[in-house]
Structure 1
C-alpha cells in the first residue's frame, strides 16, 4: 500500500472536490487506497503526490476521467425505491403527459414535454422512467402522443458508465426488479443478458455533464430527477446545484430526489408534496 500522508490526503481531497464536488473526509482514506492506488500504479506514477501534480492540470485528461470514474459511486437499479416510482407513475408522469398533449394541440412544436435524469449512472433509472412514460403514452385513448413528442436527457460525470447506459445491456441480476410484462416488451434477451429495445435506447440522450459546471442549456424541464446524488456533496454545493435545478424546472414542474434526501435548509424554491411515503418537490407556477 502506498503511503498517504495527511498533507497529501488533504491535497488530493481538495483536487477531487474541485473535479466532481465529492467531499472526502479523513475516514475515507480507504477509498483513496482502494480506488485510486491501482490508477497510480498502472499509470506509472511514483506516488499520490505525483498523481496530485497531474490532476492540477486545468485540461481534462484521460487521467482526470479515470479518477472521476473510480472515486464516484455508480450504484443504481431498475425501479429503485418503489414508492418514488409509484409517485412518478400515478402523479408526475400523467401530469407531464397531459400537459404535453395540451401543448401539442396549442403549439404543435416539439418537444412538448421534457425530462432530465441527472446522475444517471449506468442508465437503469432513466430507462425505468422511459418505460413508465411509454406505457402512459400508449395507453392514451386519443393516441395523440408518441415518444417523439418528448425529450429525455440523462447525464452523468463518468464517460464509462454512460457507455454502459447507451448500450443498454444488463445481466439477469440487473433486470430482476423489472416486471415480466416490461421485460417482454422493452428488452431483448441475448444469451444471459438483456438489452433495452432500440427505440427506447434511441429516445434517451445520454450525455456527459458535471453538475458543478452548470445545467443543460436546452430549455426548461417538466421533470428533473437527481436521486441519491446530493448526499455526496457538502451543503454549499447542494445549494448551488439546487439553485440551478430551480432555474431549469418549468413553473409547476417537479424535482425528484432520493428517498434519503430532502431540500431542508438547501432550497426554498420548491414546495414538498407527498404521495404515499414518497416526497417530491414542486416549483411554484408563478416562479
Structure 2
C-alpha cells in the first residue's frame, strides 16, 4: 500500500481537493492518501518549499509526495517525478522542486502529457497517480518517463549573511500568526559565534534572547524561538505577532517604491556584538 501525500494551493472551498483524491483512488483504491495542506498561498514558492521540505522529511522511505502548487505557471507539456533521499516527489516543472530539496535530486524523470487531452488539475492528478501505480508495480523510473531531463530551477530563498549580522525573510505566518523566518538554528549559531545578539524587525522592535517555549515570557510579551522545523520564529505569548506588528510574508520581487517600503515588514535582521 503506497503512502501518497497531497500538498496544493487549491483550497478546500469547493470540490477540487476531493476530486483529486477520487482521481487517485480510481487508479489504485489502496493508496493511503495523507493531506499535508491545501492552503498554500497562490504563487508563493518560498512558503510552499518551507512546508513541503519540513513535512517530507518525517515520512517513511518510499513515500510519494504529490505537490500541486502553481501547476500552470507554464503549459504542462511535462510533469516531473523525482527520487531523492528515499522519497518520491511529483510536481510541475516550475522551479519548485529545487527549492524544496535545496539540492539536486538523485534522479528526475519527465512524465509526458497527452497532446489531445485538456490538461487541467484532474488530468495532472491522473498522470501523477499512474506514475505512482507504475512504481508500485515494480516498473523502473527510466521506463515510466524520460530520464535525466533538464528542468526549471529557481534558487531557494536564503538569508543574507555578514560577519556582523544576518538578515532573513518571513516565509510563513502560521494559524496563530506566529512569524517564521528563513534562518535556521544552525545558520544562527554559525554566524553568532558565541556573541550577544539583537533580533530587530519593523525598525524598532528588538528581542535579545532565544526562548525554548512560548511560556518563557509573560502573556502578551514578544519572544523568539526556533520552531519544530528548526527555523526562527517571532511570536507573542497568547497573541498574534503578525497582526500586532504588521508583519507580512516576503515578496520576492520589489519592483517599485511601494513594494520596497514593504520590506521593513517582511524581513528580520539579527545583529551580533
User: What TM-score results when the alignment is normalised by the length of structure 1?
Assistant: 0.25
Structure of greater relative contact order (alpha carbons < 8 Å, 6+ residues apart): 1
Larger fraction in strand: 2
Larger fraction in helix: 1
User: What TM-score results when the alignment is normalised by the length of structure 2?
Assistant: 0.26
